[in-house]
Structure 1
Amino acid sequence: MLKDTYKLITKTRINTLQVNSPIVVVCAADDKYAMPLSVTARSLLANLSNDYSILLFVIDGGIKKKNKQKILETLSGENCEVRFIPRPEQFAKRLEEAYRYTITEGQAKKYISIAQYYRIFIADLLPEQIKKAIYLDCDLVINEDLSQLWQTDLGENYVLAAQDTWIHSVSANNGLLNYQELGIDSNAKYFNSGVLVINLEKWRRGKISTKAIEYLNHYKEYILYGDQDILNALFTDQWGELDPQWNVTARVYEYSGWEESPYPENIYNNLIQNKPYIIHFVSGEKPWNSRNVPLAEHFFHYIDMTTWSGWRFTFWRELWLKLVYKFRKAISIVGIYTTN
């Protein structure tokens, strides 16, 4: 498996990668997220110190060949190597069965893609000699030098993450619905899994991938936010907290003041007054599927550095999406009546 991964060379190796130890970054995407993935990666490189290079692994949930080429063209000429990894087939069937339940009958949000769950298997998919990696969702942009995050000490934690902007603790209404059954303290903080510094070595020793699937199958009716709930349940008291600047959502600007937020006054003021290190578009409304999304100007700033330069979510794109949605809904209704 790992040998096959190394054969998937998708870009000329840069000399600096042979000399210096690169920052290992992992993303997971299907074809719908090919463009956002390019924006995330390009924003990373645009702000990276010249002293560092990137080894980017992309867990491939079905990205079309033409879009893979566009991703590579976006990153060409940079101190970056890209490797596409096939999705984790050894876990796929067990994962998909539980995923379908959470979307159709359980609590999970319908905009959560199955590709999001692939981060569970990062430690199994990457070569064993890689002990540490940064995982990034594909719905974010980076405005700061990621080497600062890479240098943060993991300690004995499984992951480093930022407290979720909106879900303050596991006992919040939209936190872990089964926290009491799990014996987790109600005051335990809940982290957002969109930006993670991962201790791959400890993850492997702890067999987290296997435990995550077991949790998904056993508690699927309680899951609100996909694998994010799973990781919060598994890593209680075993994750380190990052500066919230590394995972800022627009929701932080919805608070009337620091007293309402989960942050002390100085940290809240810093978030409000300064440019975020990482902007995370967490809701179902993204810059590429909705208009008037807060902070979307940052996304479009970086999209113009990609092979999708000039792309915007226009009124006509919005109208087309609505028509497609209505058509699919009509087809599904017809299907229900014909099968009955």
Structure 2
Amino acid sequence: MKKNNISIVVASDNHYAILIGALLKSIELNHKTEEHIDFHIIDDGISSKTRAKLETIVDPKRITLKWFKSREIIPDSIVVPIDNSAYPWTVYLRVFSPYIVDADVEKLIYLDVDTIVQDDISKLWHLPLGDHTIAAVQDVGLNVACEWGGISNYKELGLSADTKYFNSGILVINTKKWLQEDVSSEVISVLTKYKEHVRLPDQYGLNVVMANKWLELDPKWNWFAFKENDNPFIVHFLDIKPIFTSYNSKQVYKDEFFRYLSMTPWKNFKPISGNRRVIRKVYNKISNILKRSFLRQ
């Protein structure tokens, strides 16, 4: 690891690992500067076959893939609370991303795997954080008072209704400050203490801990795929992913996703039934409970 390398972190289970394929290729094709990229993958059950495919996608002289088992990155002192939502376990793993990069890494970019990068990632990397611990893009819910997301107990926490609320899918993190402030423990503590108010698990915790303390990025760095834009920097498939036949966001972004995917071992992939997505959500609800029950055994 060289200190000036660009550090990127993602997390995935095997079900959504195909998305990493398109993401990796989009990063490689649009990265024009000389910095080497260290691409960290938090592996929550990715098969050896899928891993082998991912290893073939990029030029190792430009991008190095680094693998980490999900069960090994959470400090022993932290216990992730039981969650009965349909969100996959992987949504929590971003909270621990600063623990996996090398000690000399002062910054990282966390990307949800349901994204594609349409501009040079080095531009995001070189944006100054100043004294902020994280930088992010305002969420589609806009503020903490959002009824379907947000922070339902914002008044109890002393926040005003117009306090901006960010999307946790793309984060630029000052790793030194994050670790010094013990942000991971703070987020988990919030999720445990205010469990009845949690709707979007990690995003709720991060927004409570970082309320009014995060740097707002240009929305193009986390452009939601259901909105039109001629030149988004990163496209985020917030809703139904393009690998499903029930995809319902802008067609142009789905086309871009498959353009990148066609340059990977998944070039002949065809969208799968949306019914499998529903089944997966049911599986996630059951799996989340079981994982938390056995994680510390």
Query: Would you say same fold, with TM above 0.5?
Result: yes
Structure 2 gap ranges (5+): 287-297
Matches within 5 A, 1:85-234: 85-87=68-70, 88-90=73-75, 94-95=79-80, 97-99=81-83, 101=84, 103=85, 110=86, 112-164=87-139, 166-173=140-147, 174-234=149-209
Q: Is the 8 A contact 2:241 2:247 kept in 1?
A: no
From 241, 256, 268, the counterpart of 1:286: 241
The amino acid of 1:204's aligned partner reads L
Q: Is the 8 A contact 1:45 1:78 kept in 2?
A: no
Equivalenced residue count is: 277
In the TM superposition, what is the alpha-carbon distance from 1:320 to its structure 2 partner? 7.3
In the TM superposition, what is the alpha-carbon distance from 1:127 to its structure 2 partner? 2.3
Q: Which residue of 1 aligns with 2:261?
A: 303
| TM-score, normalising length: structure 1 | 0.76
- Partner Cα distance (1:23, 1:162) in 2: 20
Q: Is the 8 A contact 1:98 1:220 kept in 2?
A: no
Q: Is the 8 A contact 1:170 1:189 kept in 2?
A: yes
Q: Mark the CA change 1:234 to 1:93 in structure 2 (over 3 Å): closer, same or farther.
A: closer
Q: Mark the CA change 1:65 to 1:93 in structure 2 (over 3 Å): closer, same or farther.
A: farther
In the TM superposition, what is the alpha-carbon distance from 1:72 to its structure 2 partner? 0.4
The amino acid of 2:146's aligned partner reads A
- Partner Cα distance (1:93, 1:239) in 2: 24
Q: Secondary structure at the match of 1:252?
A: coil
Post-superposition CA distance 1:36-87 (Å, at most 9, x none): 0121111111100142221011111111111111110112455011110121
Q: Mark the CA change 1:238 to 1:53 in structure 2 (over 3 Å): closer, same or farther.
A: same
Q: Identity rate of aligned residues, in percent?
A: 30
The amino acid of 1:28's aligned partner reads A
Q: Mark the CA change 1:78 to 1:318 in structure 2 (over 3 Å): closer, same or farther.
A: farther
| TM-score, normalising length: structure 2 | 0.86
Q: Mark the CA change 1:66 to 1:127 in structure 2 (over 3 Å): closer, same or farther.
A: same
From 196, 217, 227, the counterpart of 1:252: 227
In the TM superposition, what is the alpha-carbon distance from 1:33 to its structure 2 partner? 1.7
Q: Which residue of 1 aligns with 2:67?
A: 84
In the TM superposition, what is the alpha-carbon distance from 1:242 to its structure 2 partner? 0.5
- Partner Cα distance (2:211, 2:255) in 1: 36
| Greater strand proportion | 2
Matched, 1:65 2:23: no
In the TM superposition, what is the alpha-carbon distance from 1:125 to its structure 2 partner? 2.4
Q: Mark the CA change 1:50 to 1:310 in structure 2 (over 3 Å): closer, same or farther.
A: farther
Q: Secondary structure at the match of 2:194?
A: helix
Q: Which residue of 2 aligns with 1:39?
A: 22
Structure 1 gap ranges (5+): 1-16, 104-109, 254-271, 333-340
Q: Secondary structure at the match of 1:203?
A: helix
Q: Which residue of 1 aligns with 2:11?
A: 28
Post-superposition CA distance 1:4-42 (Å, at most 9, x none): xxxxxxxxxxxxx76x82111010111112110121111
Q: Is the 8 A contact 1:44 1:143 kept in 2?
A: yes
In the TM superposition, what is the alpha-carbon distance from 1:91 to its structure 2 partner? 5.4
Q: Is the 8 A contact 1:54 1:79 kept in 2?
A: yes
- Partner Cα distance (1:167, 1:325) in 2: 27
Q: Is the 8 A contact 1:42 1:74 kept in 2?
A: yes
Q: Secondary structure at the match of 1:217?
A: helix
| Greater helix proportion | 1
Q: Secondary structure at the match of 1:195?
A: strand
